[in-house]
Amino acid sequence: MSASILELFTEPSKQWVDSAFSGRVPGTQLLHGQEGGLLWGAALLYTKHLLCGEASGACDRCANCVQAENLTHPDLRLSYPHLTAQSKKKDVGIDASTHGLFREFKKANKFPLMSAWQQHLSADKKSLLIPASEAHALTLWLSTKPMMSSRKVIILWMPERLNHHAANQLLKTFEEPSAHVTIILISHDPERVLGTILSRCQQVFIPPARQLSQWLVDSQNISHEQAALLEELSMASPGLALDYLSNREGLARPVAAFVQLMRFAYKQDPVALLAWSDSMAAWTREELAAFLRLSGGLLSQLGRLKHGLSFRPVFEWFPDISFKAKGFTKLLNTEGMLLMHQQLSDAQTDVRRNLNAKVVLYDMALGIMKAF
């Protein structure tokens, strides 16, 4: 892979990363943006600038830079959702072997997805959290002086998964961090972060990748057409695009579910839609969120076909799923497609809020039925 992730950064993201050496560094910041996006990349570059301490940015050669790059710097602490049994000791937090697993995972996944971390932990159906014991350990860790650099940095992935006690434990630390402390929270769902935490953070939005398809062509050796499809399906999230690319079989299941939904909705068959919602409700929240996200991309592809653009839609990647996408678009109207997008996006919000999946999906399916 020769293409650098820097090519994916838009100007605002670059400016934020550079502010680590050129401007004021706030104590607590919350980066938000899409999962599988550029948030981790930005946070790690920013951290490297801070730990290196060179006035013109990280030198990439000193011990600070090398260890920050390897995620082994003693003044950098990573925190992330895990199985609560992995952080039993209150003063240590996440145990050493879990940190080892996370480093391994993070090195293989520059744009990490929660579902992939869950798989890496072999914890598919279990819920991963940041419990109070970990929050306590973070507070203790911050209370000592830096060892190697002039700063200590915490990168905490998904503050939306701090349990209530953990969030309360961290509030005071976030409010008055010592001068040598920088805390970076990485959130994909800031609406679910406790308001009292949000209000203590400077918020920074990290936009989706720019020119992702070109980057995919250069780094993955795939065709322009395939890269453009992946960019569209992933809404320019490199992590999702790479996941779709490496795991086509994983993509077949949600694509098939989308095709079923479209068919039953077109046939105006509420009974079939109810059965469909029932079977979908057995999927995990992560899978449902991914399905709904992907469905938005699939619908956009149908829209482009409808407008006469010529390309090979993703449905054709799966000969087992018989679906004549081009013909099907004749059954859709532009107004209705906008309604469908709205239904999908509302359902995403409701699934994230942990509402009853079957009810949410059936509601959405009926909405989509009415849009034909």
Angstrom distances, CA of residue 303 to CA of 26, 312, 357: 44, 13, 27
Q: Does 62 bind Zn ion (CB under 5 A)?
A: yes
Window contacting Zn ion (CB under 5 A); options: 36-44, 63-71, 106-114, 292-300: 63-71
Binding-site residue total for Zn ion (CB under 5 A)? 5
95, 93, 103, 101: which is closest to 120 by C-alpha? 101
Strand order in the sheet with 202-205: 76-79, 152-157, 181-187, 28-32, 202-205
Q: Does 63 bind Zn ion (CB under 5 A)?
A: no
Choice from 17, 65, 212, 251 touching Zn ion (CB under 5 A): 65
CB of 56 or CB of 279, closer to Zn ion: 56
CA–CA gap between residue 105 and residue 112 (Å, rounded): 8
291, 280, 261: which is closest to 366 by C-alpha? 261
CA–CA gap between residue 362 and residue 274 (Å, rounded): 6
Q: Does 50 bind Zn ion (CB under 5 A)?
A: no
CB of 68 or CB of 299, closer to Zn ion: 68
Q: Does 364 bind Zn ion (CB under 5 A)?
A: no
CA–CA gap between residue 310 and residue 221 (Å, rounded): 22
Under DSSP, is residue 204 helix (H, G, I), strand (E, B) or coil? Answer: strand
Burial of 162 (0-12, 13-18, 19+ CB in 10 A): buried
Q: Does 52 bind Zn ion (CB under 5 A)?
A: yes
CA–CA gap between residue 301 and residue 310 (Å, rounded): 11
Q: How far is the CB of 51 from Zn ion (least distance, A)?
A: 8
Q: How far is the CB of 180 from Zn ion (least distance, A)?
A: 18
Q: How far is the CB of 20 from Zn ion (least distance, A)?
A: 12
Q: How far is the CB of 48 from Zn ion (least distance, A)?
A: 7
Window contacting Zn ion (CB under 5 A); options: 64-72, 113-121, 239-247, 343-351: 64-72
Q: What are phi and psi of 331, to 5 degrees?
A: -85, -5
CB of 143 or CB of 150, closer to Zn ion: 150
Angstrom distances, CA of residue 78 to CA of 131, 137, 165, 219: 14, 12, 19, 27
Choice from 6, 59, 85, 338 touching Zn ion (CB under 5 A): 59
Window contacting Zn ion (CB under 5 A); options: 39-47, 53-61, 157-165, 322-330: 53-61
Window contacting Zn ion (CB under 5 A); options: 50-58, 92-100, 159-167, 277-285: 50-58
Residues engaged in binding Zn ion (CB under 5 A): 52, 59, 62, 64-65
